Amino acid sequence: MARLLIVDDEPDIVELIKRYALREGYEVTSVGDGAQAIELCKKRDFDIIIMDVMMPDTDGFTASKKIRESKDIPILMLSARGSEYDKLFGFESGVDDYVVKPFSPKELMARIKVIIRRHAVKAPKNEESLSCGGIEIDLPGHELRIDGEKVELTAKEYSILLYLMRNKGIVLSRDQILSEVWGYDYFGDDRTVDWQIKLLRGKLGKYREYIHTIRGAGYKFEG
């Protein structure tokens, strides 16, 4: 049974998510602010956190960063703010998904199910690393190294880079990337892939051009 933590100061939202989550067979815990979530995650493990952005005491982004310092728990962010900047900031903060209020509970459950299932990108047996030029992915350790130096990636950035490198020289459409990394037909704006690629390129530094934009088609990784 998957364990969900709902972090939101709006009781109606909490009850709505809880009702649908219980129907799916999830074990549900809820708290009303980010500070409580941080403390609870020190004591307990969860399979996913559904986190509101705007909360008293400690906001969702701050709470997410604090939790990620000690726990590798996927986080789905809820927010009434749906601008491109807000979504980009959310993904840059390392959240796994960003859902704008008001939302469809059924869509939310679909996203939760896929995030839980696909949280860990597992390396095939006997495959220890992938490399191209100065880029190297340590598969067992889920780490990226650029010219020997460790570079921190979010879970989504890691998954996208891994998918691109495993398909080196092949043009991958945005839909293919969404399907592989998010695991479903994405319900929101397909610019999500573009935002994540932009963030990923920034972390690749001088190797950013290894990810080629193929106009009208998608992306291709080629050294």
**Residue-by-residue DSSP string for 134-181:** TEEEETTTTEEEETTEEE---HHHHHHHHHHHHTTT--B-HHHHIIII
- Who has greater pLDDT, 124 or 54? 54
- Who has greater pLDDT, 128 or 201? 201
Q: What is the C-alpha to C-alpha distance for residues 143 and 151, in angstroms, rounded to an integer?
A: 7
pTM: 0.60
Is residue 100 predicted with pLDDT exceeding 90?
A: no
Q: Which two tokens stand for residue 135?
A: 């880029």
pLDDT at residue number 181 = 82
Is residue 112 predicted with pLDDT exceeding 80?
A: yes
Is residue 38 predicted with pLDDT exceeding 60?
A: yes
- Who has greater pLDDT, 137 or 93? 137
pLDDT at residue number 123 = 47
pLDDT category of residue 184 using cuts at 50, 70 and 90: low
The domains found in the chain, sorted by start residue, are 3-118 (3.40.50.2300), 129-221 (1.10.10.10)
pLDDT in tens, 205-214: 999 999 999 9
pLDDT at residue number 21 = 94
Mean pLDDT of 41-70: 88
- Who has greater pLDDT, 105 or 114? 105
Q: Which two tokens stand for residue 62?
A: 């701050």
- Who has greater pLDDT, 123 or 175? 175
Is residue 116 predicted with pLDDT exceeding 70?
A: yes
Q: Mean pLDDT across the chain, nearest whole number?
A: 86
Q: What is the C-alpha to C-alpha distance for residues 216 and 50, in angstroms, rounded to an integer?
A: 34
Is residue 190 predicted with pLDDT exceeding 70?
A: no
